[in-house]
Chain A
Amino acid sequence: MKYTQADFKSDQEVKWCPGCGDHFILNAVQRAMPDVAEIAGRKRSEFVVVSGIGCSSRFPYYMKTYGFHSIHGRANAIATGLKVANPGVSVFVGTGDGDSLAIGGNHFIHAIRRNIDLNVVLFNNEIYGLTKGQYSPTSKLGKITKTSPYVTIEKPFNPGELIIGAKGTFFARSIDVEVDVTRQCLVRAAQHDGFSITEVLQNCVIFNDGAHAVFAKDKASRAAHTILLKDGEKMLFGANKEKGLVLDGFRLKVVTVGEDGYTIDDVLTHDSHEKDTYIHNALAAMKYPEFPVALGVIRDVEDKTYNDEVCRQVEEVKATSKIKCMDDLLNSGETWTIE
């Protein structure tokens, strides 16, 4: 019997601020889980949600699965150990821009490098919410916050570029209010065997309201300033899908189909499975206002996973070694007898 959304809701009261984008993300995850479980043939008890610290990291309490709310920045490290030790479970990580890109940045990039099979949901609100409004590693340059009263002087990370630059095997992006896009991305992410990151551009109504509003505030803005990438489909966007992305020399370029000599044939077709990172990186890097912000599954390529390789090595060595138990080991090698 297929699970329903309700099967994944815990009995805990959800304590995020009213209007917070996190509510949309929780909704999307709980809606994705029945499909995820069905496709993978998994029971609810085979899912674990791990988090660090921050608003986003309250996530495990609201999921009726196994859960571990850990310490700041360490969710990816804890999830790594969990997956290696117990490879049979499906592990999700709920984390934020502060948790994974600042204090936990090291674990984040190494989890990407190892390609361990975890599914990260990266809540990106470009601010520290739980500590009440300090700039984060994704806050826009020049932003005034409590710790940057004279504006920030640090350039932000674009998570997509960071991930693809580190040869990440899966990167998707959504916007909190686009619940179904998020849900679809998460289902794909869960199917991806390897480290997946789904970045959700999330609105913090209290400390960074409207951070993504220029392209995300309503349907018209999203149609005009975002592009939903789908495999095998032309990269078109706009109210009437009149605009497209083409390659102009080494750069992407926005064109209007039928103008300046550009036809539909010139418009790029999306292929998330292309191993080369070049176009994926360019898509992830697109910024308002010059470009539409890319949504959907941008990159999804196969590679060996760390957890599988650990298990493979263990099995290979087990199969050939003469040592089968501790007594064998204790008596192996150089020993001598005293009569």
Chain B
Amino acid sequence: MNVKELKDVVIRFSGDSGDGMQLTGTLFSDTAALFGNGISTFPDYPAEIRAPQGTVAGVSGFQVHFGSSRMLTPGDYCDVLIAMNPAALKANVMWLKKDATIILDGDSLDEKSIARAGFKTNDPLEELGIKEYNILTPDITSMTKEVLKDSGLDNKAIVKCKNMFALGICLFLYDKPLDHATAYIRTKFGKKNPAVAEANVAVLNAGWNYAHNTHSFANTYTVQPAELEKGCYRSISGNVATAWGFMAASEKSGRPLFCGSYPITPATVILEELAKHKELGVKTVQAEDEIAGICTSIGAAFGGAFAVTTTSGPGLSLKSEAMGLAVIAELPLVVVDVQRGGPSTGLPTKTEQSDLMQALWGRNGECPMVVLAASSPSDCFDFAFTAGKIAMEHMTPVVLLTDGFIANGSQPWKIPSMSDYPTINPPIITELPEDEPVYMPYKRDEKLARRWALPGTEGLEHRIGGLEKDALKGSVSHDPKNHQLMVHTRAAKVAKVVDYIPEQKVMGPEEGELLVVGWGGTKGHLQATVEKMQAEGKSVALCHFNYINPLPKGVEKIFARYKKIVVCELNEGQFANYLRMNFQQFHYEQYNKCQGLPFTTVELEAKFNELLEK
């Protein structure tokens, strides 16, 4: 058997949503990460928890991209497809590279399964036109049953172990050890059900041995560890990083963290994660609805907590009125919107960037808010932290946009030290200043932030609310000039944040033919494409935005140095239009996609080459 060395590999694990494909993929990617490979992952699962078995609608997938360098994307197309049934094969055939290897459970090639997947004939391989691919059909189910025939488990429990057989094959194929998966299984299931844990371990080993002994594979492959920066690493998903970033902001501000939230895909994991960390004083309220989610958080902010609320598009719609209350009450609050395909319920488990306009403008009245967007699973930590810092120091609500792709995806993350993060200094007032006979709740500092007087503090009793405020006293005011002043002041306060954020940067040549512009979660794909084209000597640069409102300084200077600008986003052109509004002097080309999927580097490269050649 030959051992070939590869730079990077994309494996897609795919099966019924009950087949445990997310776990299988995670165990593989963690094993690769522990070995030192660069990794990027992309779970792709259906909205239904258990769609009808064996149907294309019920296929759940998990893609792992690992390699001997830093992986910026989970990969466009896969080198290896693990398909636990014909439906998984059918659902993923579009994601195969030309020379891909397919490992399909041979036991699933029965008439019933083939029919369930919606094939017209009894030969799915012929029907899909993939006969020339490298297809292996080990009888995974029956071998799993054989391994566990004396295990004492019932048939249902035995069949559930078959994903470990597939994992064993993959670990063998890519020269990876079984230790991590074995240890994980024993920790996860060992206590509750040692028999199930040992059955899974046995099947994992059987899969590895099968691949080793049968010589079904002409080659095995090694992928060298990536040359990553020295240090201690962990794997982190965007949602967990977001939760931890908030906790970090809480620690650095000394304000206890409060999260009022209502479960919604794909944001729920942030609430789940925060609910775990009571040891760091985090308080969570699983509210009765989205509105109560934000309103409990607004109440907590008034009470002196660093308050956050988490949601996705439909929930952001429901929170709109309360976001306006946070704006007029001038309380610190972070609203996370993990964007998904819309409108309405749309595509709950699929990614999109189509809530940008809603985040910027989706409220009644002149209602400006700071809007930030994270761009990778791990930088969700930094932007959650920054969102908290801005909210508390500028006394303003902040929208943090992430998306289903970076929220569910994970990557290795060099563990930061909290000493590298700045202290957060909210403008808390603890006693009545000498020059104020009574407390003036809308008096402002140099940031235009009002002060935060926490209930319980003597001498600072004051009233706030949703009615227009007197510019100083905070009492109700219907005075026309006061309203005009307050509208201007609220806008100026948000605009002033620009002085406290970094200048806009560009990756690549200082000037040139084509400037690729993106924002938020598309960064990995845009950067991978641009870097590849730059290596080929093409005049392409990337200007990627994390600060949306206010836009950072320096944007116009950058835009002016390139002949063409193309704005790429997973919507129909919301950021492009926002840029047109802010910087009318430039012409913006667009590349848009609304398929519930991330960009592929292939399609981006084709578009950029076309623009370069035009």
Contacts and interface: CB of A to CB of B under 8 A. Distances in A.
Q: Which of B307, B325, B459 has the most CB of A within 10 A?
A: B325
A45 B458 contact: yes
Nearest to B459: A45
B304 interface: yes
Contact of B466 (A69, A325, A331): A69
Interface string A294-328: 00000000000000001001101110010111110
Interface in A185-231: none
B155 interface: no
A330 to B, nearest CB: 5
A64 interface: yes
Contacts of A25: none
Contact of A81 (B34, B235, B300, B456): B300
Interface in A153-178: none
A81 B297 contact: yes
A18 interface: no
A71 B279 contact: no
A78 to B, nearest CB: 4
A66 B455 contact: yes
A336 B36 contact: yes
A100 to B, nearest CB: 13
A314 B458 contact: no
B299 A80 contact: yes
A68 B469 CA distance: 12
B443 interface: no
A337 B225 CA distance: 12
Contacts of B416: 330
B560 interface: no
A67 B292 contact: no
Contact of A74 (B281, B283, B295): B295
Contact of B456 (A45, A69, A327): A45
Given A81-B260, A82-B299, A107 B292 contact: yes
Interface string B290-311: 0110011111111111010000
A327 B418 contact: yes
A338 interface: yes
A45 B233 contact: no
Contact of A327 (B33, B279, B417, B466): B417
A204 to B, nearest CB: 21
B292 A46 contact: no
Interface string A265-280: 0000000000000000
B247 interface: yes
A331 B232 contact: yes
Contacts of B244: 326, 329-330
B456 A86 contact: yes
A106 B287 CA distance: 10
Contacts of A78: 295-296, 298-299, 302
B248 interface: yes
B321 interface: yes
A60 B463 contact: yes
A85 B331 CA distance: 14
A67 B346 CA distance: 40
B interface residue count range (under 10 / 10 to 19 / 20 to 34 / 35 or more): 35 or more
A98 B36 CA distance: 61
Contacts of B231: 337-338
Given A61-B476, A77-B296, A335-B234, A85 B465 contact: no
A334 to B, nearest CB: 6
A70 interface: yes
Given A69-B463, A329-B244, A81 B256 contact: no
B123 interface: no
A149 interface: no
Interface of B: 30, 33-34, 36, 225, 228-235, 244, 247-248, 251, 256, 258, 260, 277-283, 285, 287-289, 291-292, 295-305, 307, 321-322, 324-325, 329, 415-418, 454-467, 475-476
A142 interface: no
Given A77-B299, A85-B307, A338-B229, A314 B281 contact: yes
Given A70-B465, A334-B234, A82 B34 contact: no
Nearest to A108: B288
B258 A84 contact: yes
Interface string A230-254: 0000000000000000000000000
B574 to A, nearest CB: 27
B464 A67 contact: yes
B279 A321 contact: yes
A177 B247 CA distance: 50
B283 A106 contact: no
Given A89-B456, A329-B277, 14 more contacts: A66-B461, A67-B462, A69-B464, A77-B292, A77-B299, A81-B299, A85-B301, A86-B455, A89-B455, A324-B279, A335-B233, A336-B36, A338-B229, A339-B230
A313 B260 CA distance: 17
Contacts of B297: 81
Contacts of A181: none
A335 B461 contact: no
A9 interface: no
B307 to A, nearest CB: 7
Contacts of B285: 80-81, 84, 310
Contacts of A122: none
Contact of B296 (A43, A81, A329): A81
Nearest to A69: B465
B387 to A, nearest CB: 16
Q: Which of B288, B321, B329 has the most CB of A within 10 A?
A: B288
B463 to A, nearest CB: 4
A56 to B, nearest CB: 14
Q: Which of B278, B281, B321 has the most CB of A within 10 A?
A: B278
B542 to A, nearest CB: 26
A47 B258 CA distance: 21
Contacts of B462: 66-67
Contacts of A325: 251, 280, 418
Contacts of A79: 299
16 contacts: A12-B475, A45-B459, A48-B303, A63-B463, A65-B461, A77-B295, A78-B299, A80-B299, A83-B303, A84-B285, A107-B292, A316-B278, A317-B279, A326-B280, A329-B244, A333-B234
A88 B458 CA distance: 13
B34 A70 contact: no
B258 A85 contact: yes
A70 B258 contact: no
A324 B277 CA distance: 10
A81 B278 contact: no
The 5 A-B residue pairs with the shortest CB-CB distance, nearest first, are A69-B465, A81-B299, A81-B296, A321-B279, A86-B303
A336 B458 CA distance: 50
Nearest to A337: B232
A132 interface: no
Interface in A71-120: 71, 74, 77-86, 88-89, 106-107, 110
B445 to A, nearest CB: 21
A322 to B, nearest CB: 8
A336 B231 CA distance: 8
Contacts of A67: 461-465
B248 A50 contact: no
A82 B232 CA distance: 39
A325 to B, nearest CB: 7
Contacts of B417: 327, 330
